[in-house]
């Protein structure tokens, strides 16, 4: 069986898994951050879903005065274009290893979902859009596109084009709401089907959002076709 560099926590179904959700935490959190969320999703017994929560490595984070914490990549200032490309690509490769391990355990790539919050959501998009085979879907919560200048070359290569659930708080002080909107519009303009949700909250998750994620997961894992949502560029000013 393929091994991953990343340590993981897992929630196993009561029978052999036929689908997997790989969920990346945000800056400074760890693999346990969304562990308790699973029971709130309202998922039915079928399909049998394994939840995998990887731990990001510990690195010095510039924006937090160089403190060492779990992070998928360094952040010098939120919103800057000069992103930490080497660590982004390395973390993407490690997430690829987690995906490969799920496939090796018998889960079809088309039954794997990459999900994450904040930095984790950004990494879910980054790794998911660059898979050789299309995944079941991608979930980006309070996150954004990384290295978005590469999006055109990815789509010109023929995809893949997994469905995307993207959600953001309208009062987010960490990853601004407009940053989420811009990422949404770029994805939609590139041809991705984006299910967009927004909630009156800050940089967090809420119960309504968790329920919406559950409904979306049921759609992509049972039929491969989530309920119709936003699929075009923003008409907001």
Residues annotated as part of the active site: 118, 172, 203
Bridge partners, 137 (sequence order): 113
Residue 134, classed as helix, strand or coil, is coil
Burial of 84: CB neighbours in 10 Å, binned 0-12, 13-18, 19+: buried
CB neighbour list of residue 233: distance below 8 Å, 6 or more residues apart? 185, 188, 189
Q: Which of 93, 102, 77, 104 shows the shortest CA–CA distance to 126?
A: 93
In this structure, how many other beta carbons lie within 10 angstroms of the beta carbon of residue 109? 18
For residue 190, give the H/E element and its range.
Answer: none
* Sign of the torsion formed by the C-alpha atoms of 222, 225, 228 and 233: positive
What's phi and psi for 32, nearest 5 deg? -80, -5
User: Distance between CA 222 and CA 108 in Å, rounded?
Assistant: 13
Q: How far is CA 86 from CA 74, 123, 147, in A?
A: 10, 13, 11
């Amino acid at each position: 069986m393929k091994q991953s560099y990343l340590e993981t926590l897992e929630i196993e179904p009561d029978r052999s898994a036929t689908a997997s959700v790989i969920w990346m935490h945000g800056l400074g959190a760890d693999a346990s951050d969304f562990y308790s969320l699973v029971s709130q999703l309202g998922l039915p017994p079928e399909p049998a879903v394994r939840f995998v929560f990887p731990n990001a490595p510990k690195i010095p984070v510039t924006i937090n005065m160089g403190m060492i914490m779990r992070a998928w990549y360094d952040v010098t200032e939120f919103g800057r274009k000069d992103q930490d490309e080497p660590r982004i690509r390395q973390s993407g490769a490690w997430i690829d290893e987690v995906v490969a391990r799920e496939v090796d355990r018998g889960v079809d790539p088309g039954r794997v979902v990459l999900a994450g919050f904040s930095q984790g959501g950004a990494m879910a998009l980054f790794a998911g859009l660059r898979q050789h085979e299309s995944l079941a879907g991608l979930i980006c919560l309070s996150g954004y596109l990384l290295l978005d200048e590469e999006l055109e070359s990815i789509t010109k290569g023929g995809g893949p084009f997994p469905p995307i659930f993207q959600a953001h708080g309208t009062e987010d002080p960490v990853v601004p709401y407009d940053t989420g909107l811009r990422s949404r519009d770029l994805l939609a303009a590139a041809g991705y089907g984006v299910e967009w949700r927004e909630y009156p909250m800050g940089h967090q998750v809420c119960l309504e959002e968790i329920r919406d994620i559950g409904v979306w997961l049921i759609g992509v894992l049972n039929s491969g076709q989530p309920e119709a949502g936003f699929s075009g560029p923003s008409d907001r000013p």
